[in-house]
Amino acid sequence: MVMIALGSDHGGFEIKEAIKTYLSDKGIPFIDFGTDSLESVDYPVYARKVCDSITRGESELGILCCGTGIGMSMAANKHKGIRAAVLNEEFSAEATRRHNNANILCLGGRIIDGKKAVKLTEIFINTPFDGGRHTKRIGMFE
């Protein structure tokens, strides 16, 4: 089973907590790198923790939550080997795994609610990479 790294700032804290409940209920292992409250924090700190977990091989996938998901995706995509996608709907959650082999899902707690965050998480972690022609294209990112 895949290990999931979780991180959020204050803007994404509530949807991160909803995702944690889902993962726990499904028996999916995860590491929560924080934050642990609604108190204002700097999102790049948590993006780095999740990215480092993935690049070290400790986690296979990550989920980062902030107000919009955009800041987290920008911070995460600065790390070599990270392919973070900010998503708000189901089609993109599936497509980014199938075609882009995204390894981090970025969500916005001021854009979507916990129920939608869980649905996108479910799709993201259960959709395989298609490989084939997409492997070459991903190699062109580096």
Structural domain boundaries, residue 65: 4-139
The pTM of the full predicted model, rounded to 2 decimals, is 0.96
Q: Give mean pLDDT, residues 11-26.
A: 98
Cβ proximity of 13 and 37 under 8 Å: yes
Q: How far apart are CA 54 and CA 2, in angstroms?
A: 11
Q: Say how many C-beta atoms besides its own lie within 10 A of residue 137's C-beta.
A: 12
As for how many domains the chain has, the answer is 1
> What pLDDT, on a 0 to 100 scale, did the predictor assign at position 140?
86
Q: Give mean pLDDT, residues 3-14.
A: 98
What CATH code is carried by the domain that includes residue 77? Answer: 3.40.1400.10
Q: Give mean pLDDT, residues 87-98.
A: 97
Mark whether 106 is an active-site residue: no
* DSSP percent split of the chain into helix, strand, coil, nearest 5: 45, 15, 40
Q: Give mean pLDDT, residues 65-79.
A: 98
Catalytic member of 51, 65, 66, 106: 66
Mark whether 99 is an active-site residue: yes
